């Protein structure tokens, strides 16, 4: 997942940022609500982790503006407030889940996965397509029951394609989901990742749509015509 972390506490923010990356996610970190709104004007994220006690634009005000802009990105709220009324206010403002500080990173990661499944209307913890089984929580991939090892970016790329079967995903969109703001990206890096995934899966799963991007087709979309280099 690509995650926008909105947290002004340096110690907590740095710990969360590193923890998200170590779990295989792409994370971008901003420290106030206005910076978060600006980021969302040009970038697409799978989830937002939002502290409520933010400078410039408080978390609840950020939430109101986010939902007023018809942005449905899932939001996991972090707060030091513990009363039921505070939690209700956050959820009614537009939050999708709520965690009170202090918390365990493993629980936060599990909640992010649950939010992501909900967005994709998927109850199962694994993603299954033909003979592929991908388990995001375990970072495990099997094809015909055989374990296939993919580096984190190839794993994330395959997951994004499998979550959008039947839809063409642009090169720009896929690249944004693999690399954060502080990472340099070669012009052909996406093609290299796709080539490596195809080689390791040893199957005709990913279709190239020339000049646009890539997709994994639904069964009814498959035809004898192929555009794979």
pLDDT tier for residue 12 given thresholds of 50, 70 and 90: very high
Residue where a domain stops, chosen among 119, 150, 170:
119
- Residue among 200, 91, 82 at smallest CA distance from 146: 200
Q: What is the CATH number of the domain that holds 156?
A: 1.10.10.10
Q: CA 67 → CA 3, 139, 224, distances in Å?
A: 17, 32, 44
Q: Is 139 found in the same domain as 112?
A: no
d(CA 21, CA 18): 5
Q: Is 85 found in the same domain as 65?
A: yes
- The torsion of the CA quartet 212, 215, 219, 220, rounded to 10 degrees, works out to -20
pLDDT in tens, 160-184: 999 999 999 999 999 999 988 877 7
Q: Is 142 found in the same domain as 112?
A: no
State the residue range of the domain holding 172.
127-221
Residue where a domain stops, chosen among 102, 119, 136:
119
d(CA 50, CA 5): 6
The β-bridge partners of 143 are 132, 146
SS3 state of residue 7: coil
Q: Is 6 found in the same domain as 62?
A: yes
Q: Is 132 found in the same domain as 90?
A: no
Tell me the whole-structure pTM to 2 decimals: 0.84
Residue 138 burial (10 A CB sphere; 0-12, 13-18, 19+): exposed
If one counts the domains in the chain, the total is: 2
Q: Is 134 found in the same domain as 67?
A: no
Residue where a domain stops, chosen among 119, 136, 151:
119
Q: Which residues contact 171 (CB under 8 A, 6 or more apart)?
A: 190, 212, 213, 214
| Tokens 């991939």 belong to residue | 141
- Residue among 121, 200, 123 at smallest CA distance from 165: 121
Q: Is 69 found in the same domain as 19?
A: yes
Q: Dihedral sign, CA of 114, 120, 123, 124?
A: negative
pLDDT tier for residue 62 given thresholds of 50, 70 and 90: very high
Q: Is 91 found in the same domain as 53?
A: yes
Q: Is 69 found in the same domain as 164?
A: no
User: Alpha-carbon Rg of the chain, whole angstroms?
Assistant: 19
pLDDT for 86 beyond 80? no
């Amino acid at each position: 997942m690509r995650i926008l972390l909105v947290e002004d506490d340096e110690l907590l923010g740095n710990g969360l940022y590193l923890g998200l990356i170590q779990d295989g996610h792409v994370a971008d970190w901003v420290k106030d609500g206005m910076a978060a709104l600006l980021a969302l004007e040009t970038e697409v994220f799978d989830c937002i982790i939002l502290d409520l006690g933010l400078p410039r634009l408080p978390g609840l005000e950020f939430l109101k503006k986010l939902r007023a802009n018809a942005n449905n990105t899932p939001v996991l709220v972090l707060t030091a407030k513990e009363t039921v009324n505070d939690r209700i206010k956050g959820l009614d403002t537009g939050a999708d889940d709520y965690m009170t500080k202090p918390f365990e990173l493993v629980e936060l990661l599990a909640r992010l996965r649950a939010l992501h499944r909900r967005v994709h209307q998927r109850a199962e913890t694994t993603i299954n397509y033909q003979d592929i089984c991908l388990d995001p929580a375990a970072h495990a991939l099997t094809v015909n029951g055989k374990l296939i090892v993919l580096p984190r970016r190839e794993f994330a790329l395959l997951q994004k394609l499998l979550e959008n079967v039947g839809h063409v995903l642009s090169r720009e969109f896929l690249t944004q989901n693999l690399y954060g703001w502080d990472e340099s990206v070669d012009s052909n890096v996406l093609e290299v990742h796709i080539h490596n995934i195809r080689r390791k899966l040893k199957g005709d799963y990913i279709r190239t749509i020339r000049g646009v991007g890539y997709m994994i087709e639904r069964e009814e979309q498959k035809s004898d015509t192929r555009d794979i280099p």
